[in-house]
Copies of this chain bind each other. A is one copy, B any other.
């Protein structure tokens, strides 16, 4: 615009200092002024339009930010809720394991799954003696039932502890065994009775 104005001012000076003021020069000048004001009009209209479009975009983006922030808040609440539930579930697992340790004398240390089935590392017993073992629950292909695999874990035992356990438990409990699921309780009971025996 500064450029345009300079031009107009220059022309006006030309009119002033010319040999006379003809109608042609004035008309020319008037047209030139009109043209320049029209250009300014067009530029202003264009800028106003751009402003409107930009304002709408700002409005849209602001709304979008608000919406996304709202979703964020909802998700944050969901995460907090899930984290709380996770903590309570971990506690529940521990509580159930503790219950069974006190009630039945069996501590489950860990459980894991592999291609063959579901496995637990556990310890059973009391102050008279403790046996560590692994129990596997595997699908029996032929009977279509579940087979239990018992694996004694004796590596952590000292020779004194081993001798004591050998006095309490029947010999077959020092080998890997396999039996149907329905015999598991019988196996557990036998183990429990054996481990409760006092060693002289």
Contact = CB atoms under 8 A, between A and B. Distances in A.
A97 interface: yes
A162 to B, nearest CB: 24
A104 B69 CA distance: 52
Interface in A1-50: 1-2, 4-5, 8-9, 12, 15-16, 21, 23, 26, 29-30, 33-34, 36-38, 40-41, 43-44, 47-48, 50
Contacts of A75: 72, 75-76, 79
A65 B60 CA distance: 11
B95 A96 contact: no
A100 B106 contact: yes
Q: Work out how many copies of this chain go into the complex.
A: 2
Nearest to A9: B34
Contact of A61 (B4, B61, B90, B185): B61
A92 interface: yes
Nearest to A5: B37
A82 B93 contact: no
B47 A51 contact: yes
Contacts of A57: 54, 58
Given A5-B34, A82-B82, A103-B184, 7 more contacts: A1-B40, A15-B26, A43-B44, A47-B47, A54-B55, A92-B93, A99-B111
